[in-house]
Structure 1
Amino acid sequence: MPAEFLARTERRLFRRILRGFVLLIAFLAFGLSGFYSYQQLQLLKQYSNDFKDSYIDSQFVLLREHLQREVTIIRSELLQGTFDPAMTLERLRQHRIGPRLNGYFFALEVRSMRGGPDFARHLLLPIDPSQVGVPMDSSLLDKHGFAYREVYLQQLRETGTARVTYWYEKPDVERTISEKTTYLVLLPELDWIIGAGLYLDDIEEVIASHTHQQRQRLLASFVFSVLITAVFIVAALYFAWNYNLNLMSLLRSLRKQIQDREEKLVALNNSLQNRVDQAAVELERQYLVDALTGMGNRARLARDLAFVRSPRTFCLVDVDGFREINEIFGISSGDILLQELARRIQECCEGGVVYRFSGDNFVVLCPRVEDSALSRYLETLHDCLVDNSHTPPAIADVQFNVTVVGTNEASNPLGRLEMTMHHAKAQRRNTLCYSEEFNAVQRYRQNIAITQKIRQAIDEDSVFPVFQPICDLQSCEITKYECLMRIRHGDEVLSPGEFLSVAQRSKLYPRLVGIMLRKSFAAFANNHYMFSINLSYADIVNEDIRQSIMDLLTPHNAARVIFEILESEGIDNYGEVSRFIQQVKELGCKVAIDDFGSGYSNFEHIMKLQVDYIKLDGSLVHGLRDDPRNLHIVESIVFFAGKVGIHIVAEFVSEQELVEIVRRLGIAYAQGYAIGRPEPELLLQPPFECGNGSRPLGE
C-alpha cells in the first residue's frame, strides 16, 4: 500500500510539473515574442524620428556650408583682386544641391536694403533666367500670403545673414509650388545677396522612403520571431517530457544522497573555516608588510600613526640618486640596497619602528629625542647608514648616500617630513631638522622678487604683447590672433605663469592689464585681422578694467575683437558677466570660452554666456591621436557647437598630424605651434599649404 501510494503521488507530481512547465514555456515564449515586437516597434519609431531630425539637420548644415564656402571664395577673390562676376555667376548656376538636386544658388544685386518695388534685381536665377534684371518687389507674397522678402531683408539688415521658409516654384517638369527653406548672405562689398535653398518635400521623400524600408524590415523580423517561437515551444515540450522522466528517477535517490552529503558538508565547513582564518592572517600580513624589506608598509604606518600617544621623533630617510643606481647597477642591485638599508635603519635606530614609505623612502618612528639634540641624532643616524664596512658583496661596488630629516611635531608629521626633505635636497644637506620657516619664508622672498620685476617692467615700458596666429582650416588662412602678455627683464622674457598669480594679488595688476589692452589694440589698429584678449572673472567685475575696454572699443575695431573668458574659473555672479557680454556684443565684439574641457566643462555655462567660440583645452586635443575617450568627447562638443551655431578653436595643435585630425572632426580653427608660435610680429601665413590635405611647405 505505501509503495502504490508513492507511485500515484509520483505520477500526479509528474503530470503537474509537466503541465506547469508547458504553460510557463508558452507564456514566456509568446510574452517575449510580443515584448520583442513591441520593443522593435518603439525602436523603429524612435529611430525614424532620430533619422528625420538628423537628416534634416545634416541637409541644412550642408546647405549652409555650400553657401559659406561660395561666400568665402568670393571674398577671397575680392581680397586677391581676381574676382570675376561672370565666372562666379556661371559657377553658381551650374551648382545643384539637395537630395534630389533641386536646390540651386541665386544672386541678387541690391538697390535698397529697406525694400520697395525695386529693392533688388536678379543676377542669377537658374530656374527662370527670364527674371534676370527684372525689378523685384519686397512686398511680394507667396501662395500663403507670406511676405518672405521683407523677412529676409530685415534679417540681413540685422546680422548680414538670413534664413526664411516660404512656398516657391520647383525646377521640375510640372513646375509645382513647394515649401522651400533658403539661407542668404549679404555681401556689402558687392551690394550682392547670395542665396541657396532646399525644397522640403525632397527631404520628406527621402525620409518617407527610409521609414518604409525600416517598416518592411520590422515586419520580416516579426514573422521570423513568430517562427522561432513556434520552434522553441516544440523543442521545449520535448525537453520537458524527457526532463520530467529523468526528474522522477532522480527524486528516488536524492534523499539518501542528501543525508550523506550533509554529513560531508559539516566536515568540509569546519575545514574551510580553519583555512579562512589562516588566509585572513596571511592577507593582513601582506597588506601591512612590505614584501621586499619585511618592514611595515605605508598602510601599516598610517594605522600606527593613528594610535601614537606618547611623544615620538619622526625621521624620513631617502636614497640619493636611487633611479641612477637602478639604471647603472640594475634593479636587482637596487632591491638588495633597499633590503640592506632597511636592516641598517633597524640596527641604527634602537627602539625605533621602520616603515618603507615609498620606493626609496623609509619612515622611522623613534623614541623621543629632545629638540636640542635632534640635529646631532640625525647626523649620527646618517653616518651609521652610509657606513660601508659591512656591505653585502652583491652591492660592494655601489656607492650611495642618504638624506635624513626629522621632526618632533606630532601634527601632520609626514607632510612636515616631506617639506623638510624638499628643502634638504634643495640645499644639498645630508641632514636637516624641520623648521616653521620652511612654510613661508621662501615663498615670500620669491613673491617680493617677482613684484619688483613687475614694477620695473611697468616703469621701463617692458610689458608687451605677443601674438599667436589662429588658422581657418577651411580657407587655410590666418584670420585671427590671440594676444598674450610678456614681461622683459634684462635678457629674460617672463611668461604669465611666472608672474601673473603674484600680480593678481598686488595693486599692479590693473596697470598690467591696461598696458596689455592698449598695446594689443594698437597692434591691430591698421589691419583687418581679428584678435582676442583673455579676461578673467576678476577682470570683468573690475570697474577700471571694464572702463579701459570701453574706451578702446570703436566702431572701426569692435567687430574684430574677441574676449576669451577662462572656462575653468568659477563665476560667482552670472548677472555681472552677462551684462558685460551683452554690452560688448552690442558693439559688435565676439565672446569665446577659453580652455574648455580643463574645468567643469558645463554646457549650461556656455548657453548662459551666449558665446561665439569654444576653445578646446590642450589636454583634449593632445589625446585625440591615441585616446578614444578624448575623441568621443571632442566629437560630442563639435556636434553640440554645430547645433547652436558656435565655432570651435582647437588649441595646442603642436604637430601637423593634429592639424589633419581636427580638420577631419569638422573643427573650424586651429591654434598651436603647428600653426605658429607667439611672436611680437604677426605671422601672416601658416607653415603649410592646402590641397586635398595639408602638407608642410618644401615637401
Structure 2
Amino acid sequence: MIKELKSLSWELNVMYVEDDELIRQQMITLLSKFFNQVWIAENGEKGLLLYEQHGEEIDIIFSDISMPRMNGLDMVTQIKTVSPQQKIIIISAHSDQENLLQSIELGIDQFLVKPVSAQQFVSKITKVVTDIKEGRESNIAKSVSLDDLTGLPNRTQLYRDLEEGKEGTLILLAINNYHQLSDTYGYENTDYFIAKIASRMRELKTSPNLISIYRYNMDQLMIVCHRVVDPVKLKIQLSEMLHQLEQENVYIKGFNFPLSAQLTVGVAFKLALGTWVETVQQAEVILNNAKTEGEKLVVYDQSLKVVDKVKENIVWSEKISRAIEESRIILFYQPIFDNHRQITTKYECLVRLQEEDGTVHSPYHFLEISKKTTMYRQITLVVIQQALKKMEETGFEISINLSIDNLLDEEIRTVLLKELSINKDLANKLIVEILESDGIENYEEINLFLKEIKTFGARIAIDDFGTGYSNFAHLIKLDVDFVKIDGSLIKNIHTDVNALAIVQSIVGFSKKLSIKTVAEFVDNEAVFQTLNRIGVDYSQGFYLGEPTAQLKV
C-alpha cells in the first residue's frame, strides 16, 4: 500500500495547516515522504494567504479545525468558494458529529482523526490521490485548456496558442483589489467581473478578430493581439478603456453594482526574432513595476531594461543558492573602538558572498534578492552560527545584524535561543543589532523575544539611529544597551553644526538612560577627535579598521 501511494503521489503538491508545532513537524516529516512539495501554514488565515499565492500548484490541502485567527473550516469555506474542486482532507482530534457534518456539507474529501494511524493515513490518502489521477485523465482536455469559473482559456492554453516566429502584442491586466472585491461580493461574482472585463477588452480597436483573451492568474487577464500594435494608439485606447471599466456598473442577481475595479496594465511586444517566453516575462515585470510605481498603464520600451534586471536577479539567486550549499557565505569583521580605553573591544560581523574563484561580494549585490526567498533565512542562520563560533575562538564581543523580519521569524528565533542556551558562557559576548531604519512597529512581540535574549546575558543595539524613522521611544521601549548613530550624521560632524547638534542630543539622551553610544562611518582623524570631545563611547569606521575575514586577537 505504501509503495502504491508513493507511486501515485510523488508528483503532487500539498498544503498543511496546523497550529500545534509538534504535530506540525511530525506531519511535515510524514507528508514529505510522499509528496513533491509541502507548503506549511500555522492557522487558517495564513493558509488562505498561501493558497492565494500557490493555489494553482496545490493538489491537496490537509488542515486541522481548531486554530487561532481563523479555523480550518472557515478557511476551507473560502477556498471552496474560489476552487470548488479543490481536494481537502481534515485532520482533527475533534471527531464530533457537528464538525463531521459541516465537513461533508463543505465537500471535504476525507476526515482523519488524530492521532492518525499509518493504516488510516495510507488508506484514505490513497483514495484522494487516486481520485486526482483519475479525474485528470478523464477531464484532461477541459482541465488543461479552460478556466472553470470564467470559461476563458487558461494559462496552459495560452502557451499552446502562442506560435514562435509570429509577432504580437501582450497586454497583461491585473485587478489589484481582486480579493477586496471577493470579500465584498463573493468570489463567484468577482469572477463575473473578470468575464465582464474580458468582454470589454474585446472591443479594443486593434482588429478584434486578432484578439485572444486568457485567464492568466486568479486576478489577471492576458490579452493577446496577434500582431504588433502601434504603442501610441494602443496606450490611448487602453487609457480610455481603463477609465470606462473603473466607472462601469455590473448587473448581478437583480442588482446593479459599480465595478469598482482598480486595474493595472503592462504591455510588451514580441518581434519576429524574440521569443514568447521572454515577452511574457517582459509583461509580468512591467506590470509589477507599474504597481510598485503606482502607475495604471506602462508600455514596454527599450529604456526599461526589465528583462536584463530579471536575468540579473536569476543569476544572483543561483549564485546565492550555490554559495549556501557550498559554505561560501562568510563573515567579515570590523573593529569597534573603545574611545575611553583607546583599544578595540568589539567587532561587528558583516556577511559576504564568496565566489568559487575567491571573489568576495558585499550584501549590496545579494541580500535584497535573498529577502524575496527562504535563502534570507538560511543566510541569517549561517551568520548566527559563524558569529558564535568566532566568539568562542577569540573571546571578543561580536555583534550581528538582525532585521525586523528576522526577529519575527519563528525558526530564526528558535535557533538563536537554542544556541544561547547551549552556549551560555558566550551569550554575554553577543550583541544583537536591530536595524532602526526598518521601522519598528510590533513592540509587543519583538520585546518578548528581546527580553528572552537578554535573560541569557546578550545585549541589544539599535543600528542606523538618526535616520528617517528615528524615535527616542525605541530606546526606552526596547530596553537597548547600545545606540549606533547613523553614518549620515557622523561623516561630516566636524564641519556640519546641525549634525553635531543632533549627535550631541542623542549622546545626552543616551547617557541619561545609561545607554552606550557607537558612531559609525568614522573615516578620518577630525571626525574621530570630535566624537571623543562630545563623549561618544565607541567609534567604528575605516579610520579605525576596515572589515576583514580575520580578527586581530
Taking structure 1 as the reference length, the TM-score comes to: 0.36
Higher alpha-carbon Rg: 1
Q: Larger % of helix: which?
A: 1
Taking structure 2 as the reference length, the TM-score comes to: 0.46
